[in-house]
A and B are shown apart, each in its own frame.
Chain A
Amino acid sequence: MSERIGVYVCHCGTNIAGIVDVADVSKWAGEKLADKGVVIARDYKFMCSSLGQELIQKDIKEQKLTRVVVAACSPHLHEKTFRNACKGAGLNPYLCELVSIREQDSWVHTDKVAATAKAKAIVSGGVARVIHHEALEPLRVPIHPDTLVVGGGIAGIQAALEIADAGFRVYLVEREPSIGGHMAQFDKTFPTLDCSACILTPKMVDVGNHPNITLLTWSEVQKVDGYVGNFAVTIKKKPRYIKTEDCTGCGICWEKCPKKVIDNVFEAGMGNRKAVYVPFPQAVPKYPVIDDVNCTYYLKGTCKACEKFCPTNAIDFNQKAEEITVQVGNIILATGYDLFDARRIPQYGYGKLANVFTNLEFERLCNAAGPTGGNIVLRDGKTAPKTVGIVHCVGSRDKNYNAYCSAICCMQSLKFAHLVRERTGAEVYNFYIDIRTPSKGYEEFYQRLLEEGTRFVRGKVAEVTSVARIPEEEGKLIIQVEDTLIGKQRRIPVDMVVLSSGMQSRHDSKDVAKLFGISCSADNWFIERHPKLDPVATMTDGIYIAGCVQGPKDIPASVVQGAAAAARVLGKIQQKEIALEPVRATINQDQCSGCRICNNLCPFNAILFHEDKMVSEVNPALCQGCGTCVAGCPAGAISGTGFSNEQILSQIDGLLLLNISHAAVPVE
């Protein structure tokens, strides 16, 4: 036995030691695994602490360890920690194996005897595996300094500006004709009541003018190839039918366009736009888009009014979609959220009762640039409401729809209540389950609303109906609710109902996640690398997330995440090169029969076939290390570093060393 192995069993406080008899596991490993080469086995309260790491380092030096097995938490948490500890003591980091006895043992089992037996099996598997580890060097690849930001809402804008201001190129891709996202649709922002456009548009203009930002609006990402540091991203630029180099954004085209279209995107169906349009006056870029689904020329073959009147001949009806490929080192996804469709709760009457509005519709109603010029009026366009009911948690905190809290609706509803009272003097009722105002200045805003005389009814609204039971209810919308504070059913007649629809993930978020190779939660929000400690990175190196794509959040939190993602990307760019896990496949050319089975198994085209020698070879720069070819090679000619056949087969043997079927009590 040539290897000298050290086994380190972590208590993790009581996280592991509470269920697993760690002292027994380490004693057992020291005795029963001595024939495998274990020369020292210890348990320690917190292996990841600097003292724990020093313990390992001291043993590596004094006991001349050649392999280290740490039994602690998931390798996704502390693999790097222990590898670095080994490296610090002069042992190649890849000769260390971290096996999980916390996430996969102590945290999921209650039977102490069985959990201890399982911990022994897991340690035994790790010891058997680590014998076959090889000293490896990480692959170093250069990082392309350019960055792709997907989504031009406030999170994407912030990320793009931070990176561009630091002197690096950013490609900002936005699906809509203008950047701005949801924030551009809002009137005021809580709790300060800043005008949304006033604080957003300077940032949008900065993006539009920034020498380091290539703005690609009306564009979508089609394909992503490569890996961290070296992504090749194919972007489809949809045809604008406008020659942007000639267009001055003067607006004559949309003035002259005879075709009115209901604007379901920016105006949330509350207003019209033309077939050639910019979504809103402050749009960046200023160039309009011709909507080829509704344009009379595309429908009937005649019109071209815009072309006739354009002073700079910037209209081009023959423009085609264009695909461009950009090279980037890192990608930030800030694709935002969709609003919960209030039609899914039919008892609230949205879509059937005219004066039931969604929150986004109400934002447009309040907005000075909106369809009513900022007048809060009923659907008829002129009558001001005398009473308004605001329903919180529509589609949120409800297991029939979305179980989670959408985080912003309480404050948004309070903002609405304030705006209604300020502008119309109407009586406002807020129907809430709980009021949640946890950020700076939010609770104070709630107190202000209470003082302003807004009424609050604690209870989930059962129904919104137009069917009157008493004369006072005639012609009104009646909100049926159980007031849980007084314990009574109430019927409250109002003129207008605003539904605070919650946030949900983008309808196509699963496709986007697939495109970029990241994971979605059960609600289809993108999953961060760690929910507390790494909230903007993903499990895929080089892909970061920011804003509501990760989960519901307000504007300040989205800005924070945009900036945080940018900081992470800048850190990567500054390193100039990145170390990649050396998990790669290699082909032993002496054993390769040239059957080419592996060639077709590889999804990355990383395997080349040499016609002259009749053997295949793996290109390590393209290989991602999945190991499918290793498993598929009939000659056993391919080996996978880090996950070799010897390593896995030995681990299986090791795991089965202790067989709990023969003894619920651990074998002594």
Chain B
Amino acid sequence: MTEETKPFEPVIIGFTCNWCSYRAADMAGTARIKYAPNIRLIRLMCSGRLDPTFVFKAFAGGADAVLISGCHPGDCHYVEQNYKAMRRFHLLKRVLVQMGVEPGRLKLLWASAAEGAIFAAEINKFVEEVRALGPLNWAQPGEQVSTPIMEEVTA
């Protein structure tokens, strides 16, 4: 297969929390549930640790999309810190839109330690969504940013 005919393979950086979503990823592994190899995970102690800088850094470094995942609302190991991740997620989406990045390139996923299958399925879904969006193309200096329409955020 030549370079041109190869389908676009997005690279996704995924942030997981130590207690739920990283364990969900482990669970998917132990159960040998297959999913697309396009995601590379980073373990944080809590989704609340997610500094918005991390997301920008990932996009700047060449990631086509970023996944933020944590415990389900109400199940946070640190009481309520996943709500702070959720707040940052919504703000990040708005900021990314202003930078010309499609909001669909950032995804929030709640996954409990038991939800390996869901975690894997959601990653597959996300990879296909990002594949449809194509590679992340930053606006060149001087280029007019065509701001994508902000979709209704329902996370």
Binding site for B on A (CB under 8 A): 74-76, 100, 102-105, 107-111, 114-115, 117-118, 121-122, 125, 513-514, 517, 519-522, 527, 539-540, 583, 601, 603-604, 624-628, 630-632, 640, 642-643, 645, 648-649, 651-653, 655-656, 659-661, 664
B37 to chain A, nearest CB (A): 4
- Alpha-carbon distance between A513 and B112 when the two chains are bound, in angstroms: 12
Contact call B48/A627, Cβ cutoff below 8 A: yes
B139 to chain A, nearest CB (A): 19
Subset of 5 A-B contacts with CB under 8 Å: A118-B40, A521-B114, A603-B80, A653-B57, A655-B42
A36 to chain B, nearest CB (A): 15
Beyond A514-B75, A627-B44, A627-B45, 7 additional pairs, beta carbon < 8 A: A74-B29, A109-B36, A122-B40, A626-B49, A643-B44, A655-B13, A661-B11
Let me know if B141 is at the binding interface, CB within 8 A. no
B110 to chain A, nearest CB (A): 13
Query: Closest residue to A122 on the B side, CB-wise?
Result: B40
A643 / chain B contacts, CB cutoff of 8 Å: 44-45, 49
A603 / chain B contacts, CB cutoff of 8 Å: 78-81
A92 to chain B, nearest CB (A): 20
Contact call B45/A108, Cβ cutoff below 8 A: no
Docked complex: B36-54 residues within 8 A CB-CB of A:
36-38, 40-46, 48-54
Contact of A645 among B9, B53, B74, B112 (CB under 8 A): B53
Contact call A627/B49, Cβ cutoff below 8 A: yes
A656 / chain B contacts, CB cutoff of 8 Å: 11, 13, 40, 58, 61-63
A626 / chain B contacts, CB cutoff of 8 Å: 45-46, 48-49, 77-78, 81
B34 / chain A contacts, CB cutoff of 8 Å: 108-110
- Alpha-carbon distance between A626 and B76 when the two chains are bound, in angstroms: 10
Q: Which 9 A-B pairs have the closest CB atoms?
A: A103-B29, A627-B49, A628-B48, A626-B78, A626-B46, A603-B79, A631-B51, A107-B29, A114-B37
A109 / chain B contacts, CB cutoff of 8 Å: 34-37
Let me know if B106 is at the binding interface, CB within 8 A. no
Chain B interface mostly helix, strand, loop or mixed?
loop
- Alpha-carbon distance between A583 and B13 when the two chains are bound, in angstroms: 23
Contact of B29 among A104, A521, A601, A653 (CB under 8 A): A104
- Alpha-carbon distance between A643 and B43 when the two chains are bound, in angstroms: 9
Docked complex: B9-23 residues within 8 A CB-CB of A:
9-11, 13, 19-20, 22-23
For the A-B complex, the count of residue pairs with Cβ-Cβ distances under 8 Å equals: 158
A425 to chain B, nearest CB (A): 47
Contact call B20/A519, Cβ cutoff below 8 A: yes
Contact call B13/A652, Cβ cutoff below 8 A: yes
Contact call A652/B49, Cβ cutoff below 8 A: no
Q: Mark B76-92, 1 if CB is under 8 A from A, else 0.
A: 01111100100010000
Contact call A664/B112, Cβ cutoff below 8 A: no
- Alpha-carbon distance between A308 and B127 when the two chains are bound, in angstroms: 75
Let me know if B138 is at the binding interface, CB within 8 A. no
Contact call B112/A108, Cβ cutoff below 8 A: no
B46 to chain A, nearest CB (A): 4
| Also in contact, A520 and B48, with CB within 8 A (given A125-B40, A655-B13, A661-B8) | no
B131 to chain A, nearest CB (A): 10
Query: Closest residue to A19 on the B side, CB-wise?
Result: B37
B49 / chain A contacts, CB cutoff of 8 Å: 626-628, 630-631, 640, 643
A117 / chain B contacts, CB cutoff of 8 Å: 37
B115 / chain A contacts, CB cutoff of 8 Å: 522
- Alpha-carbon distance between A114 and B38 when the two chains are bound, in angstroms: 8
| Also in contact, A514 and B23, with CB within 8 A (given A103-B29, A109-B34, A114-B37) | no
Contact call A103/B25, Cβ cutoff below 8 A: yes
Contact call A519/B19, Cβ cutoff below 8 A: yes
Query: Closest residue to A116 on the B side, CB-wise?
Result: B37
A79 to chain B, nearest CB (A): 10
Most chain B beta-carbon contacts within 10 A, residue among A74, A117, A540, A645: A74
Contact call B78/A519, Cβ cutoff below 8 A: no
Contact call A653/B61, Cβ cutoff below 8 A: yes
